[in-house]
């Protein structure tokens, strides 16, 4: 998985670092900086980090600056609540607060912003609280959002929803390479769904995508 440090290091080597550095220092202005990141930086691929563009990485860093900002606000509150509560309770509260802020940015984001939020989810201390965003993205007809929803954070999806999402990728022509941990998680039920899809395609005289056919082959040959 691509980590925050790798994104930060790669961004440092671009001409856009100055803007990113300044914007991450003002987490209270994230509503505007998050929206403007595309035109303030660049939509070109981020050198050295396959699968990420400069603006996606910039937006991810803006999001990773949120927990500290929210934590500081929380700590001020907590001093009024002695005795000190257990760390787990505090972490859970922070996860809810971060997920709410991230959820708001997603809700009012354009397609590029939504995609950046989805890609950044594994880097944020939100636990499973941001799962509704993944469900929202999978419901869309935008192949870029469906693809971004199936990164490492999709481990929080239950198995039935995950299988449906994988099948939706096949249906939409999204390469299965976007699905994180595909082979580890693919099961007999997914194989049955893929086999049924292949039969339907065959009946219609339409081809099954190669990567889906290969996955079906791997799943069925493992069984025998």
CB atoms within 10 A of CB 188: 11
Both tokens of residue 129? 């609280």
Judged by CB under 8 A, which of 38, 67, 122, 151 binds another protein?
A: 38
Site for another protein in 39-68 (CB under 8 A): 39, 44-45, 51
Distance CA 39, CA 42 (A): 6
Q: Is there binding between residue 36 and another protein (CB under 8 A)?
A: yes
Q: Is there binding between residue 139 and another protein (CB under 8 A)?
A: no
Judged by CB under 8 A, which of 140, 164, 202, 207 binds another protein?
A: 140
Q: Is there binding between residue 147 and another protein (CB under 8 A)?
A: yes
Site for another protein in 148-207 (CB under 8 A): 172-174
The DSSP result for 140-193, as a single string, is SS-HHHHHHHTSGGGGGS-HHHHHHHHHHHHHHT--GGGSTTHHHH--HHHHHH
C-beta of residue 92 within 8 angstroms of C-beta of residue 34: no
Judged by CB under 8 A, which of 32, 139, 155, 217 binds another protein?
A: 32
Judged by CB under 8 A, which of 72, 108, 132, 196 binds another protein?
A: 108
Half-sphere exposure (CA, 13 Å, Cβ side) for 14? 25
Q: Is there binding between residue 144 and another protein (CB under 8 A)?
A: yes
Closest CB 146 distance from another protein, rounded Å: 9
C-beta of residue 209 within 8 angstroms of C-beta of residue 198: no
- 61-90: buried (b, 16+ CB within 10 Å) or exposed (e) per residue? bbbbbbbebbbeeeeeeeeeeeeeeeeeee
Whichever of 2 and 94 has its CB closer to another protein, that residue is 2
Q: Is there binding between residue 127 and another protein (CB under 8 A)?
A: no
Judged by CB under 8 A, which of 141, 203, 206, 221 binds another protein?
A: 141
**Contact footprint for another protein (CB under 8 A):** 31-32, 35-36, 38-39, 44-45, 51, 108, 110-112, 114, 140-144, 147, 172-174
């Amino acid at each position: 998985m691509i980590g925050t440090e790798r994104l930060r290091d790669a961004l440092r080597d671009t001409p856009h670092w100055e803007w990113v550095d300044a914007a991450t220092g003002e987490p209270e202005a994230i509503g505007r900086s998050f929206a403007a990141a595309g035109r303030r930086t660049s939509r070109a691929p981020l050198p050295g980090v396959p699968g990420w563009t400069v603006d996606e990485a910039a937006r991810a860093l803006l999001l990773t600056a949120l927990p500290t900002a929210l934590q500081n606000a929380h700590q001020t509150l907590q001093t009024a609540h002695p005795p000190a509560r257990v760390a787990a309770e505090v972490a859970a509260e922070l996860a809810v607060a971060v997920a709410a802020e991230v959820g708001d940015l997603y809700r009012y984001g354009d397609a590029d912003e939504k995609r950046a939020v989805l890609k950044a989810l594994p880097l944020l201390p939100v636990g499973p609280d941001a799962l509704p965003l993944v469900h929202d993205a999978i419901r869309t007809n935008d192949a870029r959002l469906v693809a971004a929803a199936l990164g490492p954070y999709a481990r929080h999806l239950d198995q039935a929803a995950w299988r449906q999402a994988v099948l939706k990728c096949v249906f939409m022509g999204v390469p299965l390479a976007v699905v994180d941990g595909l082979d580890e998680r693919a099961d007999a039920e997914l194989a049955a769904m893929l086999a049924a899809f292949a039969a339907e395609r065959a009946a219609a005289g339409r081809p099954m995508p190669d990567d889906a056919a290969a996955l079906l082959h791997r799943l069925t040959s493992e069984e025998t």
